[in-house]
Structure 1
Amino acid sequence: MVEPCDNCGRETAHEVSIELLTESDDSENAAYSREPYRVTECRACGEESHQRMNDA
């Protein structure tokens, strides 16, 4: 997917995936604090960004 890269300052190819990330450090409730995130990695410079899907 081609997207703008903040690090490169231009549009470059990115690898895009969806990951479930745990937002709580409390191990007792960690299973209930997972949220989907859109993860992008620039193929030109390797810069990685995460965006919470519920905030999109």
Structure 2
Amino acid sequence: MIGTDHSSGDGVERCETCAVQTPHDVSIEIRTESDKEKNAEFSREPYRVTRCRMCGETASQRMNNA
């Protein structure tokens, strides 16, 4: 898995661990989903990654489901 941070920002979102709205760091990562070297460049997908500033919990969500 290759991660490249293209943008980052701050946001307030619900943290499942804290069970309340908390400040989060938000970024976009490009991840390679294939373990095979052949055609790996065609398996990259953007993911939205959030990290709770209160507890450190990290969550990611694939941004497109093609």
Normalised TM-score (structure 1): 0.92
Gaps of 5+ in 1: none
Residue 25 of structure 1: CA displacement?
Answer: 0.5
| Percent of aligned pairs with the same amino acid | 60
Q: Which runs of 5+ in 2 are unaligned?
A: 1-10
1:48 aligns with 2:58: yes
- Number of the residue aligned with 1:19: 29
How far off its partner does 1:29 sit?
Answer: 1.8
- Partner Cα distance (1:53, 1:14) in 2: 18
Could you say which structure has the higher helix fraction?
1
Report the aligned-residue RMSD.
Answer: 0.8
Match of 1:34 in 2: 44
